[in-house]
């Protein structure tokens, strides 16, 4: 018996959101390349970036191992109100979308410094390469999603800025294959 990554099969279809890079970098079997969305600005604004990757299999599979790496970054600088947050997760589909246990990451911070000088608020999460041994039956798709948000409200002095990033490095779903007597998988 061996494990094979269903995402890499030629029959698997792929759908994406996020326009910052070649979307195939989110499933190229590398945990160092990524597809992303990123926004940087120097004005008072509420900014959201999102990326997603959905991989649909032609045949339902029993998934035995899931590996992924996701990243979110939100930095806001403001003289007044600042909010930074992110949410990211992986899901599988077997009749309905379900979160992969342990794959949901989120955080949020906010403040109002009443114009008492510039405040920088930064949230950053890199999951690193994480793996889940599982036994998920009748899976026909897997999905990764990263949302990052930042808001820098204008004060009387100006100086607002934001850098918001969302990345999917990799999403893999492995199923068991059996070799027959001829050695063909």
8 Å CB contact between 144 and 14: no
- Is the pTM for the entire model greater than 0.75? yes
Measured distance CA(36)–CA(154) in Å, rounded: 28
8 Å CB contact between 27 and 8: yes
Per-residue confidence of the chain (185 residues) as pLDDT tens digits?
799 999 999 899 998 887 666 666 667 888 998 888 888 877 666 788 999 999 999 999 999 999 999 999 998 888 777 888 999 999 999 999 999 988 999 999 887 776 677 788 899 999 999 999 999 999 999 999 999 998 877 655 556 788 999 999 999 999 999 866 555 55
The tally of CA atoms less than 13 A away on the side-chain side of residue 72 is 26
Which fold would CATH assign to domain 2-177? Jelly Rolls (2.60.120)
- Reading the block at residue 75, the tokens are 């930095």
| Residues in CB range of 6: below 8 A, 6 or more apart | 12, 55, 57, 61, 63, 142, 173, 174, 175
């Amino acid at each position: 018996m061996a494990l094979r990554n269903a995402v890499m099969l030629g029959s698997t279809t792929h759908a994406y959101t996020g326009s910052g890079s070649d979307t195939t970098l989110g499933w190229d079997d590398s945990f160092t390349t990524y597809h992303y969305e990123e926004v940087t600005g120097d004005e008072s604004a509420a900014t959201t970036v999102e990326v997603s990757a959905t991989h649909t299999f032609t045949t339902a599979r029993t998934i035995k191992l899931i590996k992924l790496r996701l990243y979110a970054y939100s930095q806001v600088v403001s003289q007044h109100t600042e909010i930074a947050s992110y949410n990211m997760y992986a899901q599988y589909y077997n009749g309905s979308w379900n979160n992969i246990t342990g794959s949901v990451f989120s955080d949020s911070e906010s403040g109002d410094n009443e114009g008492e000088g510039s405040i920088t608020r930064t949230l950053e999460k890199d999951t690193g390469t994480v793996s889940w041994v599982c036994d998920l039956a009748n899976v026909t798709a897997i999905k990764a999603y990263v949302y990052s948000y930042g808001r820098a409200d204008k004060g009387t002095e100006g100086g607002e800025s934001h850098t918001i990033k969302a990345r999917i490095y990799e999403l893999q779903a492995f199923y068991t294959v059996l070799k027959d007597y001829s050695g063909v998988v």
